[in-house]
Every structure is written in C-alpha cells, then in structure tokens.
Chain A
Amino acid sequence: MAKTYDYLFKLLLIGDSGVGKTCILFRFSEDAFNTTFISTIGIDFKIRTIDLDGKKIKLQIWDTAGQERFRTITTAYYRGAMGIMLVYDITNEKSFENIKNWIRNIEENASADVEKMLLGNKCELEEKRQVSKERGEQLAIEYGIKFIETSAKASIRVEEAFFTLARDIKAKMEKKLEASNPPRGGHQIRASEPQKKPTSWLSRCTIL
C-alpha cells in the first residue's frame, strides 16, 4: 500500500507463442527490450500505475504463455480480466489467423463485458511483413474492437495501446455507474424517503 491509486484494472495479454506479448509488457512496464526469446512459463504479471484524466489507475497486466500446454492455466485468468489484448505478429500469417481462435477462447472463458483490443506487433519489421495493416483493421472492425500496430522493440505505440485500453475500460465503468442506474446488489440500506410529487404547477418544470 505504498502507492495509492484510484482504480485497479486487470488486463490480459493473449496470442500465439512468440508474437511478443512478454516484450510488449516489458516495454510498457520497464521501458526496456530483450532480444533473447524466453518462453513464458504459464503466467506472469507486471504492474504499472498510469495517470488518466487526473485519476491514478493501477494496471495489473497478466502475461500468458502462448504455448498450448499451458492453456488450462492461462484460461483460468480470463474471467477476472477487465481488458484483453489480442496480440499477433505481423510477420507471421499463422498468428494472425489464430486470432479467431483466441477470440472464441475469450467468448468461452472471459466475462461478457470485457474490453478487447487487437495488436499487430513487430511493425518495425516492414520488410518481413506478411499481414497488411488493412487486414488487421478489417478483422478488428469485424469484431467491433480497436486495432493498433505496435513494436515493442522500436517502442512504437505500446504506451498508446495500453492507455487506449485503460481509457476504454474507464469510460465503460463511468457509463455503467453514471447512467441512471445506481449500483445494485450492494449492501445499501435504504431508509428511503419517497419522492413527493408536486401538487402545484408552480413547482414543476415548465419547459415545453
């Protein structure tokens, strides 16, 4: 409890093995990059507190292993996630095709109103590109989610991606609570005073 914060958002990174989920997270949390490939074992998470519209938001970002053999462990973390980043590698056609499967995975395991986002990573490797930006955009539109091409190595738009997702979650939260529905199901004790209907026309709003 050293640092205080206003909100805690739990995010999740998923995608095929080797697309650069861990690198994206490493770039975002430590602003560093490591060229050696170390496969993530099961799960890991990093923390970063960001400032958004004057609110301190603590992001707990779960990094998952892309490998199939850790699937049972990683899917257990879908449920608690408020935002999920689907990552593919723009130099790897297969990882892009698999996004469909990852989305199905989300639908099966994650909470229904989770905020999703599509990231095309390694966009600095323009010469090796296999998946065009348009195709990425097209897929994102198909699923009604946002899309950003990033590069963890060259530090391109990684921050932007996380900030966008956090902002979307925050907006969703505000919409949920500040639309005309008060929190339900809490231990709110209502010693309620019913609203008195005015009897005189003077006391009524008379804007026609």
Chain B
Amino acid sequence: MVDFGTGERINRFVCPNDRQLALRAKLNTGWSVKTATLGYSQRTPHTSPLAAEEQEAIVQVIQRAEKLDLSEQQRIGKLVEKLENMRRNALGKTSSQCLLCGDNFGLLGAQKIVCMDCRRLACTKCSIDTLAGRGPRHIYQSSPKRSRLLANVKHLTKRGKLRVRKAFVYSTASREHWLCMICAETREMWKKSGAWFYKSIPKYVLPADNSRISRTKSVRTSRRYKDDDSSSDEERRMWGRRKRANSSTESALDALDQEQHNYHVRNSIYSRQNSSGESQVSREMDSLKTQMSSMTLNETKSCEESGNESRQDIEFSPDATRRESSAGRSLSDWNWSMENKLDERTSPSTSSINSSVFKSINEEKSIDASLGVIELSLTYDQETLTLHCTVYRAKNLIPMDMAGLSDPFCKLNILPNAKMSTRLRTKTVHKTRNPEFNENLTFYDISESDLMRKSLHILVVDDDKYGHDYMGETRIKLAKLKYQNTIYLTVPLENFGQEQKGPVPTTELTEWFDDLWSRGQILLGLCYNTKKRALVVSVVRCVNLLPMDNNGLSDPFVKLQLKPDPNHKKHKTSIKWKNLNPIFNEEFAFETRPTELSTQSLYITVYDKDYGKSNDYLGGLILGGTGSKGLRLKHWLDMIRYPDHRHEQWHNLTEDVLD
C-alpha cells in the first residue's frame, strides 16, 4: 500500500503548487532547491527528537527532583503524624471539659473558648488567639463593620486578665480569633505542606514506614505483634492511607493477586460457618449471598460509571479496574490484621468465626439501594469501652453537581445521647460518587448498657462551600454488637423523610443536624413567567434565624439580587420586627431572558435590621450558577425547565458572607 503521509506533512511526490513555484522564481536560485525537503523542514521544525545526552541530562534533573520530593514527602509525613498524635491525645469527652487537656470548665476551673474552626470547646491554655501579635493594620483590613469590634477586643487583649473575659463574649468578632491547638496546628500543616495551594494534602510518607513497603506478610505480622492495642488502630488507618498513596505505583497484578487471596479467605469462612449447621447462621448467610450478588452487580455498574468519570478521577488511578482491585486489597489487609489482633486475645479456634461473620442489617427489608450503599465494620471493645467504626467506602451515591458527581463525607453519631461529643466525621472525598474513605473512627465511653439502647446514625453529606446537602442516612442498632465483637456491614442508604423540609421532627436529630443548618432555613418560590419575561422570586418565610439583638430576637429582612444582571436590580423585603421565624410572602420580579438564566445566579441574603450601626448578616444562599449543587441546583434547573410553574423549596442559610 502506498503511504501518502500524514496530514501535516507535504507529500514529496506531489508536484509543487503554483504559489511555491512563483515564490521559487523570485529566489533566483534555479530549480536546485528540493521542494519536498524544504516544505518538510519548514512545516515541522521541532519534531527532531531529543538527543541521547539531552535525555540523559533531563532524566538526571528529574531524579534529583524526585529525591527532593521524597524528602518533602517525609517532612509532610512528620507533620501529619504530629497532628494525628495531637488528635489522638485529645482528652476531652464531654461538653464540660476542654477538648485537649480534659480540664473541667467552671468558675474555678479552666476558661472556655470556642474554636472558630471546629466549634469545639477548649480552655485558654489549649487554644491560641490568632489575633495576638498581629499589627492593627491587619485588623482593619477585615470588613468595616467587624473591624470596630475587633479593635475593641484587641484593646482588651492588651490587658492580661481581661483577655479571659473575652471568651465569654459572644459576637462574630470573638469567634474570629480563637483556635484550639488542633485547628491551629491543622492550619499550620496546610501551610507547611503546601496543601493551601494544591487544595488537598499532598502525597506523604509517614515516618514509621520509611522503609520500602514489604510485600511479604510475615514481615507485617512481626510488626503487628509489636504494636500495642491503642496504636494499632491508628496505624491501621495510616496504612490504609499509605496504601492509597502508593497504589498507583504498585503493579495492578500484585493487587489482583491479593484480592484473590481475600476472596479465598472469605470463602473458607463461609464454608466453615455453613458446616456448623445452625439455621440462624445459614439464613443469614443466604441473605448475605443475595446481598453480595447485588453488590457485585453494583460493582460492575460502578466500574462502568467510573470509566465514564475517569476524566475526573484520573489523578487517583489510571483505570477503574485497578481502583476496584486495590480497594479489595486494602480490605483484605484489614481482615487479616483483624484476625491477628483477635488471636492475641482469644483462642485461635474461636477467633476466626467470631471476627468475620458478615451480616446484613436489613435481612427482612428488600434492598433498595437507590441512594447508594455504604460499607463499614463495627468493633466493640469491652475493656476500654470504645466502639471502633471503620468506614470503608460508599457506592453509587446520588449525584449532586452539574457534572453528575458529589463531594461526600460521612457524619457519625450515637443516638440517643445527651453528650454532644460523640459526633465524628470522615474526611471529604472530592468529585466522586464512589468514595473510598478507609477511615477508622472511635467512639469513647460506650457502656454495654448503651449498646442495648443506642444506635449508630450515619449521615452521608455533600460537602459544599454554601452548605452541606443531605445524601442519605442509615441507622444501625448497636445491640447487634452484644453477641459478637465485630460486624461487617453493607448497608443501603435511606431517606428517613427529612428532605430538608424545614425543622426536623425529633429534637435530638435537630441538634445533631444543627451544624448543617445552623443559620436557619428559608422557603423560596421560583417561577419564570414567560408573559412578563421575568423570574418571579417569592420569599415565603424563614425559620430558626439567629438572634442578633439584645432581646434575643432579630429584625430580619431579605435582600435579593440576580447576578450578572444588566438591569442591576436589587430587591428587599419588608422588615419583620422581633421575629426569628418571619413570614414574608412577598414576590419580586427580575426581568431576564430564559436563555440567560442558566448563566445567572440568584443571591439571597438575610440581614438583621439595626439602627445606628450596620445591619447584621444572618445567612445567605446562592441559587443557580456554576458553583450550585444539590437541592439548590435542582431547584434552579426545575425553574428553567418548567416555566410558568411555581417551585417551592426549603433551603439552608449558610454563614459564608456573600458579596
């Protein structure tokens, strides 16, 4: 076959065109210039490959850079470890204790500080005033309204003892300053590791495993035995992380091998249990098998999906199958370490059965995994009264943003519970519907009587700058842990009916969800009126607004603005005096074209009217636009999709000050 050459090259065997001939005539060089070579070299001057020595030089530079990167990763690893140690050593368990040192608050005890990042309580010794040691110039750089307050507080700070008083003063200003040591350290870590720039903590190597990762299990075993109980949990979590960090560099083949081993272990366990012949167990196993088969279906589906998502996920792993296999591998490691741990305590004959009964909690219910499923395991330790909860992953979560992805994290809580400090959360995994959490969270002070009464609530939430959206939840009765130390669960997420419909029924749930909608909610109606060619926004009502005035109430009003808007129209509702649950029922129209709506966004801000000083910000919300997610996105799109229909929806107000 004749090769006609690729598109950009000039075919040498084609006669030069008129233009080339005309140009050549001007050169007065005769016909000796070779058209083809001339054209060729002109078109692609830089395709000349790099010379061997050049390649060598570049490789050397890259190697030098890699060496530096490694030492940097070790450095970050140390920082991460330091922070983890700090977290682990935090003593405070109840709301009357300092989060870090565990000192009781009170008149004679430590003074209370609310950390502005995590909102937990710490004493003055365990927190730092980020304002201290800062020049006044900086203070005035913040918003003009606050600066006055700040300056005042700063003034107090100078006189040693008054400084403590300030902690009791509640105002937006005082919250600006105090950070507990953990959050201060976290910020410092974000600076030092460069995470502030890369928007996540870069790859790191923990000091403990500087040595190359050993593949042989015997080596791991010896390590594991050396560890005491308390650190092994932590380390297991670390291992999971490290594995993720390194998974891309290790061969997929190795991962597959490990996974096979994992299945083998599981199968052997099944057979052992079936042979025991107890009807209870076999029934459970049957239900588990159906669960498993549905899970494999899900898995293949998620594979396909993640294939589609690979554009976003490319940083994590080059292809979906490898991700799945490496995930399976980390699980296998976990199973293995779990067994070893129990070996230390109980006799080997019982341990394997005890530790690895897979159990599904919804034996009776049909499996409805429309909101996705979550995989986790629970371990109860009677000696230390701790409940270890390992969240492995979630699958097929509902999409929240325009690209069909979410930024999920899990919130865990034990309910009912008088104490507030049982709340835990996982980290956020960005841009995925199949997040790998692999995180071990520990609840302290769980007595055996608690197990009978209480249940673990897991809430999956989408992390967003403008509020967290509900993605489903599940409740697990802890009584299941009474009979066996460890349970593995694959639970479908459910929607228990609080689709953010204003106030949540039970008080306890309200409290727990508090930081989801800490600024109150607003009921908004959107309608695009095709006759008027205008977007009609109806502000119906607000609930649970923050009290801002001395009488414990606020004087709220709502401001509306469409951005970008050629008319620059702004609307305001009337002021509802002394009301935290105002009913407005007011409508406003923004003239705009339907084609423009998809690029515009509606800014809704709620303020507290004050005379003699600037209005207090109560909360805000953005609907539409590129950053919009979840319900806010859905509401906006519904409005565009179905004009001349009124769409009403509750939204949470968030504290981010919108401009």
Contact = CB atoms under 8 A, between A and B. Distances in A.
Interface of A: 1, 6-8, 10, 41-45, 47, 60, 68-69, 71, 73, 82, 111, 113, 173-174, 176-178, 180, 182-195, 197-199, 201, 203-208
Interface string B159-200: 000000000111101111000000100110011101111011
B613 interface: yes
Interface string B125-165: 00000100000000000000000110010000000000000
B463 A185 contact: yes
Contacts of B168: 203
A182 B187 contact: yes
The A contact surface, by secondary structure, is loop
Interface stretch (B8-16, B223-231, B426-434): B426-434
B117 A191 contact: no
B149 A205 contact: yes
A203 B420 CA distance: 22
Contacts of B439: 187
A44 B186 contact: no
Contacts of B118: 182, 188, 190, 192
Contacts of A82: 194, 197
B116 interface: yes
B428 A185 contact: yes
B423 A45 contact: no
B61 interface: yes
B195 A7 contact: no
Contact of B170 (A60, A205, A208): A205
Interface stretch (B283-291, B511-519, B601-609): B511-519
A180 B150 CA distance: 14
Residue from A44, A60, A174, A183 with most neighbouring chain B CB atoms (10 Å): A183
A102 to B, nearest CB: 17
Nearest to B407: A185
A176 B196 contact: yes
Given A41-B54, A205-B173, A207-B149, A190 B423 contact: yes
The 3 tightest CB contacts between A and B, nearest first, are A205-B171, A187-B427, A182-B117
B328 to A, nearest CB: 22
Given A173-B196, A177-B187, A183-B190, A190 B424 contact: yes
Contacts of A43: 58, 61-62
Contacts of B506: none
Contact of B61 (A42, A47, A189): A42
B552 interface: yes
A172 to B, nearest CB: 9
11 contacts: A1-B71, A6-B192, A183-B195, A186-B190, A186-B195, A188-B118, A189-B441, A193-B121, A194-B515, A197-B547, A205-B169
A205 B284 CA distance: 59
A195 B169 CA distance: 12
Contacts of A173: 191, 196-197
Nearest to A114: B197
B64 A45 contact: yes
A201 B552 contact: yes
B192 A7 contact: yes
A197 B190 contact: no
Contacts of A184: 428, 463, 465
A180 B176 contact: yes
B186 A188 contact: yes
Nearest to A82: B197
A190 B58 CA distance: 45
B72 interface: yes
A176 B190 CA distance: 10
B518 to A, nearest CB: 7
A63 B337 CA distance: 47
Contact of A45 (B54, B65, B426): B65
Q: How large is the interface on B (under 10, 10 to 19, 20 to 34, 35 or more residues)?
A: 35 or more
B200 A185 contact: yes
Interface in B378-431: 407, 420-428, 430
A204 B191 contact: no
B421 A191 contact: yes
Contact of B186 (A6, A186, A194, A208): A186
B279 interface: no
Given A194-B119, A201-B552, A204-B171, A188 B427 contact: yes
A73 B148 CA distance: 52
A192 B120 contact: yes
A8 B194 contact: yes
B253 to A, nearest CB: 28
Contact of A193 (B54, B119, B194, B551): B119
A203 B612 CA distance: 21
Residue from A45, A47, A68, A204 with most neighbouring chain B CB atoms (10 Å): A204
Nearest to A10: B194
A206 B121 CA distance: 23
B523 interface: no
B91 interface: no
Contact of B57 (A7, A41, A190): A41
B68 interface: yes
A89 to B, nearest CB: 22
B641 interface: no
Given A183-B190, A190-B424, A177 B196 contact: yes
A206 B58 contact: no
B532 interface: no
A47 B407 CA distance: 37
A176 B191 CA distance: 10
Contacts of A190: 118-120, 423-425
A168 to B, nearest CB: 13
B546 interface: yes
A178 B134 CA distance: 12
B471 to A, nearest CB: 17
A68 B46 contact: yes
Contacts of B117: 182
A33 B258 CA distance: 56
B551 A201 contact: yes
